[in-house]
Structure 1
Amino acid sequence: MAELTLYLDLLSQPCRSVYIFAKANNIPFNNHQVRLFKGEHLTEEYGKVNVLRKVPALKDCDFFMAESTAMLLYMARKFKTADHWYPSDIQKCAKVDEYLAWQHTNTRPNGSKVFWVKCLTPLILGQEAPAEKVDAVVAEFNTTMNNFEEKFLGNKLFIAGDEISVADLVAIVEIMQVVAGGINVFDDRPKLAAWKKRVVEALGEELFLEAHEGILNAKKMASEPLAPELMEFLKSKLLSMK
């Protein structure tokens, strides 16, 4: 039995990055499903694994982690994955670190807003989001993608150079959340579309599609009742979202 346990819900972007990385690198792990829409991350039992009550979480014997990008680097080091994932070359590594630092306040929150407004508003509030709100969050994400293409991709095949790294993996799962919200980000962006194709090929199309199957069918969530405490939390967050 594997010593490593990953606590995951593949509806979550960070969970998908951790899952795909482990699978792509043949890292043995126990997959402990934590169903967010059932509120399982809010339970006292899960709080013993991750006091922050978020996913993903990592348990390696008696060692615990609660941040996905740190988990990726931990697994890369512990399991000595191929160098391209987190390069030993100081400048390539710096490019990976730079994107991982930037995405926390750019790709991640701006992509999540699109998904929340487009996909979760009808589910939680029972009505479509106002058109002006949708337009605003989509415009903000488009600015993020402009910056991503210009600053982080440039004329390179991948963020750190000629090979895929954890930075590309973290980027693609966040962008796919916007696709799940009904916005085809790759339309009219040939550079971004070509990069996505390379990323999918590097990861393996079967694994990529498996990891994204749930989120790309997110509207089916409407048929499943949500945990009451989670419903209240989501409603409050949506109403306060600007």
Structure 2
Amino acid sequence: MTLKLYLDFLSQPSRALYIFFKINKVPFELSQVALRKGEHLSEEFKTNLNRFQKVPFIHDGDFRLTESVAIIRYVSKVHNIDNNWYPKETKAQARVDEYLEWQHNNTRAFCALYFQRKWLFPLLTGRQTSPETMQKYEDNMLACLDQIENIWLADTPYLCGDRISVADIFAACEIEQPRVAGFDPIKGRPVLSAWMNRVRSEASPFYEEAHAVLNKLAEKGGKAKL
């Protein structure tokens, strides 16, 4: 039975999994969930698809799994993924895991909060976040981007070494998200810009496929509508 991947392309980890699956030729059936329509909020969705009512998640026969990092680890073992994307060697794998754990309270948290408060919540509620609060969200995000440049990319072309890994895909997908809210994450950041270009190139054409919707929204400079 083919593995089913449930996602929404406006979800950062959804895009990361899609890119990872396609690059590594993981056979899967794509099932899109329209979060903007609230498809994930029904009782039927909760009962039959995902009890946490979020994306992404997979169904692999009778086995159901949520949480994108857990899915990466599972798929890497089941499908014998190429070593550089999720290394088998203990220390190299630990280095990738280090970023995947770090990102939850850093890259993902700060980029997502900025995107939500600047663009998504005002769109859904009609209420703007105060300038003072937005400045705090932006400051946190900028500090996180500083750490990406000055710590994670200080000595290597990729986050976890000399070769691209799934850590780079997850990070890039998170850093792309604020573009929808009119924020350019690479402006004035040559190190980050060069790294993003490397990731996009290494993951092409699947990176572009995964970001097609986001790019269209970002082109509208923060005035996009779902």
CA distance in 1, matches of 2:51, 2:121: 28
Greater displacement, 148-157 / 32-41: 148-157
Deviation of residue 127 (structure 1)? 4.5
Secondary structure of the structure 2 residue equivalent to 1:30: strand
2:84 alignment partner, SS class: helix
Residue ranges of structure 2 left out of the alignment (5+ in a row): 218-223
8 Å CA contact 2:8–2:33 kept in 1: the answer is yes
Paired with 1:125 and 1:216, the residues of 2 have a C-alpha distance of 23
Residues 1:148 and 2:153 are matched in the alignment: no
Q: Aligned-pair distance for 1:133?
A: 2.3
- Map residues 1-242 of structure 1 onto 2, 5 A cutoff: 3-47=2-46, 48-204=48-204, 206-218=205-217, 219-221=224-226
Structure 1: 5+ residue stretches without partners: 222-242
Q: Distance in 1 between matches of 2:155 and 2:180?
A: 27
CA RMSD of superposed structures (Å): 1.4
Percent identity (aligned): 39
Give the Cα separation in 2 of the matches to 1:177 and 1:82.
Answer: 27
Shift of 1:25: 1.4
Q: Within 1, Cα distance between the matches of 2:117 and 2:150?
A: 26
Q: Which amino acid aligns with 2:5?
A: L
Partner of 2:220: none
Task: Measure the CA separation in 2 of the matches of 1:133 and 1:23.
Answer: 39
Q: Is the 8 A contact 2:123 2:225 kept in 1?
A: no
Shift of 1:151: 2.2
1:168-204 Cα deviation digits (max 9, x unpaired)? 1110111011122211010111111111111111101
- Superposed CA deviations along residues 79-129 of structure 1, whole A, max 9, x for unmatched, are 112100111232221211111111111111111111012211331232443
Equivalent position of 1:228 in the other structure: none
- SS of the equivalent of 1:170 reads helix
* Segments ≥4 residues shifted beyond 6 Å: none
Contact 1:93 1:160 in 2 (8 A): no
1:39-61 CA distances to partner (integer Å, 9 max, x unpaired)?
11112232122111110110000
Q: How many Å separate the matches in 1 of 2:5 and 2:118?
A: 29
| Whole-angstrom CA distance in 1 between matches of 2:121 and 2:59 | 34
- TM-score, length-normalised on structure 2? 0.92
Deviates more, 1:146-155 or 1:195-204: 146-155
Question: For the Cα contact (< 8 Å) 1:168–1:199, is it kept in 2?
Answer: yes
Residues of 1 paired with 2:216 and 2:114: CA distance? 16
- TM-score, normalised by the number of residues in structure 1: 0.86
- Measure the CA separation in 2 of the matches of 1:88 and 1:121: 41
CA shift digits 1:175-234 (9 cap, x unpaired): 011122211010111111111111111101x3212211212334231xxxxxxxxxxxxx
User: How far apart, CA to CA, are the structure 1 residues paired with 2:77 and 2:180?
Assistant: 32
Q: Could you tell which deviates more after superposition, 67-76 or 209-218?
A: 209-218
Q: C-alpha separation between the residues in 2 aligned to 1:99 and 1:216?
A: 26
Q: Secondary structure of 1:75's partner? A: helix
Q: Contact between 2:86 and 2:166, CA under 8 Å: does it hold in 1?
A: yes
User: 2:157, 2:195 within 8 Å by CA — same for their partners in 1?
Assistant: yes
